[in-house]
Structures are given as C-alpha cells and as structure tokens.
Structure 1
C-alpha cells in the first residue's frame, strides 16, 4: 500500500457554492480543496476523486450505496484509509449501509461533511476534513465511522440530530468512540467484528424497503395499500415506546399478518431516539412476535433500514433474512 488516504467526494454541502437559486455543487471543488488543505500542517498524503455525477444528499438512493462501495473496492489495495465527503442529510444512512458492506474492513472508512460550505465564512469543513484525514491515517482506527463536529461515532449507531449545530450527529444508544480536543486519542476502541466478510453487492433495489410510522388513527387499509407495492420485500414499522402498536382494531394486525405471510419481512423499531424494542413488555407487542414481526432492538432507523436492504439483496428467502436480521453483524445493536 502507498500510505496515502483516498478522499472520495460524493456531494453535499461541503462542496457547494452560492447561486441565485441557492447552494449548488461547485464545478471546481477538486482544485479548491488542495488549496485550502495546504493551510493545515501535519496532514497525511491524500488523493481526491469525485463521483460523477455528484449525489445531492436529499436525492440519495440505496443504489448509490452500491456505487460508493464499488468505488472503494476499486481502490481498496492502493490506500491505507478512506475519507468520504457526503451530504449531511443522509450521511448516517450511507455510513450504516457501508458498515454492512465492509463488515471486516481492516482500515478506516470515515464519513464527514459540513454544515456550511467550504468557501463560506465560518465553515466547519476544514476542521471536519482535516481531522478525518488524520484519523484515517491511524492504524488504530478501522471500520466505518463518522467524524463530525469534533466527535468520532460508530457509523451504524449514528443519526443526524441537528440541522443547525456544528455537532450535527449523535449516537443515541452507544457512546462516542472518541472526542477530538487539543490532542487526538491514540487508542480507539476495537471495531466490532461480524460473522460475515466484506459483502460484494453490485445492485440494490431502491424500492425493496419502506418505512411506516405508527400514529393515532393508522388503519388496515393504509397498511394494505403500502404492502401491495410490487417491489416491496421489507417494511420497517416505527412503533410506540418499547414496540407497541394499536390493537383495538383487529384488522390492523391482520393486515400485518397477511404481509408477513406474503413474504414481506416486517421489522418493528421504536420511534424513540433512545431505548429498545422489547417484544412482550406489553400485550400488543407480544402479538407482533406471534405473527412473525421481528424486533430491531435498539438499532437506529438508518441502521435497520440499511441492514434490511443488504440482507434482502443477499437472500431471496424471507425466513433467512429474518434469522440474519436478529444477529448483530457489525455492532449495530446492543
């Protein structure tokens, strides 16, 4: 290996500039970054490449994850670490997906970005990018992580929790891996290991998984309309508390049971930022277990969504997906 870091620019606020219509991607970003990075000392050597076309964070699709993964695999043996520049809106979703696609990564894959574009006053871009590069050059740091706002987080335990703060990401059910103060930590926690090697997935079906938030008044016809989509193979329910759904209307649970019987993998995740789904705490959640709905434990929505997508791409048998989903693959749940 060359001892260099590959910086992969996928899009996002960090590489945007002002226009009459608002921020838009700048065309000369790859030339501007080295000029700004030259103002910092002590950085490792790096190369910068850009995806073409760039991805607007809000337009991210699961199929983009396969595209990013292919780019990393193409350059894997040429670099000691990777820094991915990504739009903040869906950065945690991509970090979660890559964690399942690179479960046994022996080098760092660090995602970062900015709340304010690189060229704007008070931009947080250089601080995030400079530290991410240094962390990516450390042999003590492996696996998929997020560095943002001075904090290093496990990628598949993270979520965007603020649209305005420089510390935009948090890890509700897991402690941060490290905080960057005056000095950087020299000993980071060992990365979680999974039972499967790096997963080569060439394509992902953008429409295979959907999400339904449970709310007062949810009825069976709405579930049936959602689960009759031809491409749908997975459904994530965002339920109340420890995994509760309304059970006063039997037709609602019957609609979910029919979805499971049809081969749709249904996952139950709490709406709460902190805590876990525990089937059996209340009678309503016990019913879900009986009809074949599986618990997401304390996974973030991003991790549950990405994990379900990856497993559905690997397995045609819904029961095999259900079995694998319950197993912690790379530290995504407690």
Structure 2
C-alpha cells in the first residue's frame, strides 16, 4: 500500500536509462534497482522524501512515442492519482519530452496533481564501463533526477519540466539544443493551463474531477488510435506548394494542423491556399498558425499574416509548437465535435490573454 505522501517515480526510458553501443533504454528490472540504490544511499544527505517506483510497462525511445503512448502515461498517472498519490516524477527521453509534458499539463488541468517531467542528455550509467553498471559522474542524469525529486516534494500543483538546473511550466518548454546539457528553455508566465491547477482540493471536488475524467477515459483511449496532428512548414517556395500540402489532408478525418509561418506568423498568400483553408474548416480540421521562431509567437499586425485569419485559421499566440501540438491532441481526444474543439481552444486562448494582460 503506497502512502499518499510518497513520491512516485515513473521510468519511461530515454537517454537517462540507456546503456550499451548503440545506446538503448535498459529494461526496468535491470535499471531501477541501480537507481533506487543510489537514491537510498544519498537520501539522508540530500534530504530526499520517501520515493517508490510506479510500475510502467511502456519503456521506449521517446522519438517513437505516439498519441496512444501519451494516453498511456495519462491513464497511468490518473489511476495512481485516484488512489491517493499526488506527487510524481516522470523520466522520459528528450526528443518528445516537451510534447509529453505539455500534453499531461492539458490533461490534468483542473486538478491538484504535482508532476515533474525530466530526462538527461547523457545516460546515468557509463556506457564505456562494460564489466559492471557504473554511475557516470560526468552525466547530467543524476542532478536532473535529484532536482526533480526535490521540486516534486514541494507538492505545488501543476505539471513542470525540470532540466539543467532550471524548471518551467510544462507548456512553455521547448528543446533548443540537440546535445548540450542546457538543452531546454521555458518561461514562468504560463497562463492556461498552469493557472487552472487547484492548490487546495476538497475530497469531494477531487472526486468530481476524477469522475469527469473516468467518464471519458475509454473514449480518449479509443480516439488516440486515430488522432493526428499534422505540420505544414512554410519555406520560400511558390505559395501553391502550401495549398497542395493542405489539400492532401482535407479529405482525411478531422485533425489538427499546425501551419508554421515565418516570423510573427506570416504565410505567403495565394487564392488556392485561401480556398484550401476554407475547405479544411468545412471538413472539421483545426488549423493553428505558429511561428518558426523559438520565441515571440505570432500576431496579426502584418498583412502578410493577418489574411489567413479571415479563412478560419486560429492564431497560436505565444504557445510553443509542442504546446500547440499538445492542446490540439487533447482536444481531438477529449471532445467529439469540431465545433466543441474550436470553442474550447477559443476559451483557453481568451483565458491566456486575460492572464497575460493582468501581469
């Protein structure tokens, strides 16, 4: 029986637990006893809380994760949360770490759950030592894990990402370097859904939230098998290239489409693209404009970008690409109709804008 105040750690693979040549995630039965032994040895010196490992059968390279895998981690944490656990650390790979963190942030909005997502750029175990498993003293894995455990031990509601000595609300985070230890960045002005987490939850209110989740969880799992979020990347090509890319998606089931514009969301105009955007809307697709720039987001201040919003494109605001993907995916899984998804997105963006203006 897990005590409610015990912090639960989830091992999902990734570089953190990789070993050998080429690097591949170790099986949990081999890896977790080594990590737990190291935690136990240092728990008193580092003043760590009581921890345990939440059983997880899905261990894979994060570049291979799918929407169904994202839902797996949602349901895994949801079941533990329903049994009284409140604090979690999730170890995953860095390729999709920001996507998974943002998705879980959307999924658990409205709760008092505390979840910290982390990983590492180098394995915890030294892959050059083949005679025995040995901790790599030059890896960032141990420091990231300890920082995440300490952050989660505080129990502040919400989903955060901890990496390289810093932490941020999960839906603001993006990977900015392919191999440096300071691989991620984010910011603290998160707005929705970070501001929708509940600090003090009565048992009755928590049960109502859980009841709402379990009412739709079977549908969420089913929809994940056929949910798609596409990306169309603007490049200095003839505008008809974009319309052809979009046309290829229109007759598919309603999906999320991220249109990655230049700068503040500028997209080259063509009559064919405008018509394709109207058709995408009529078919139930949600097209969100995002910026290729890592910071700043999009705006409608340039004529080169504002025209698309007359054709049912939704501005992604300051959301990162992983956050846009996560919100689109959650809406596709959670709400059955295109109109309801669009309504929920609009409400969420309005909450975000209001929060930013108040700060």
| TM-score normalized by the length of structure 1 | 0.87
Name 2:172's counterpart in structure 1: 157
Query: Residue 110 in 1 paired to residue 126 in 2?
Result: no
Contact 1:192 1:331 in 2 (8 A): no
Q: Distance in 1 between matches of 2:88 and 2:71?
A: 16
Contact 2:266 2:305 in 1 (8 A): yes
Structure 1: runs of 5 or more not aligned = 178-189
Q: Distance in 2 between matches of 1:319 and 1:89?
A: 32
Name 1:123's counterpart in structure 2: 139
User: More displaced, 230-239 or 110-119?
Assistant: 230-239
Mapping of residues 1-334 of structure 1, within 5 Å: 1-19=3-21, 22-27=22-27, 28-40=30-42, 41=45, 42-76=47-81, 77-120=83-126, 121=136, 122-139=138-155, 141-171=156-186, 174-175=187-188, 191-193=194-196, 200=213, 201=217, 202-203=220-221, 204-205=224-225, 207-217=227-237, 218=239, 219=241, 220-228=243-251, 230-247=252-269, 249-279=270-300, 281-328=301-348, 334=356
Contact 1:194 1:331 in 2 (8 A): no
User: Alpha carbons of 1:301 and 1:215: their partners in 2 closer, same or farther (altered >3 Å)?
Assistant: same
SS of the residue corresponding to residue 111 of structure 1 reads strand
What is the CA deviation profile of residues 219-268 of structure 1, one whole-angstrom value per residue up to 9, with x for unaligned ones?
2222212333x334221101112221111x32122222211122111111
User: Alpha carbons of 1:243 and 1:295: their partners in 2 closer, same or farther (altered >3 Å)?
Assistant: same
SS of the residue corresponding to residue 246 of structure 2 reads helix
Contact 1:103 1:197 in 2 (8 A): no
Contact 2:232 2:245 in 1 (8 A): no
What is the CA deviation profile of residues 174-204 of structure 1, one whole-angstrom value per residue up to 9, with x for unaligned ones?
3489xxxxxxxxxxxx951169957734322
C-alpha RMSD of matched pairs (Å)? 2.5
User: Alpha carbons of 1:255 and 1:319: their partners in 2 closer, same or farther (altered >3 Å)?
Assistant: same
Task: Name the one with the larger helix percent.
Answer: 2
SS of the residue corresponding to residue 268 of structure 1 reads strand
Name 2:202's counterpart in structure 1: none
SS of the residue corresponding to residue 96 of structure 2 reads helix
Q: Distance in 1 between matches of 2:161 and 2:317?
A: 22
User: Alpha carbons of 1:323 and 1:330: their partners in 2 closer, same or farther (altered >3 Å)?
Assistant: closer
User: Alpha carbons of 1:157 and 1:117: their partners in 2 closer, same or farther (altered >3 Å)?
Assistant: same
Deviation at 1:330, TM superposition (A): 11
Q: Report the count of equivalent residues.
A: 314
User: Alpha carbons of 1:238 and 1:142: their partners in 2 closer, same or farther (altered >3 Å)?
Assistant: same
Contact 2:99 2:326 in 1 (8 A): yes
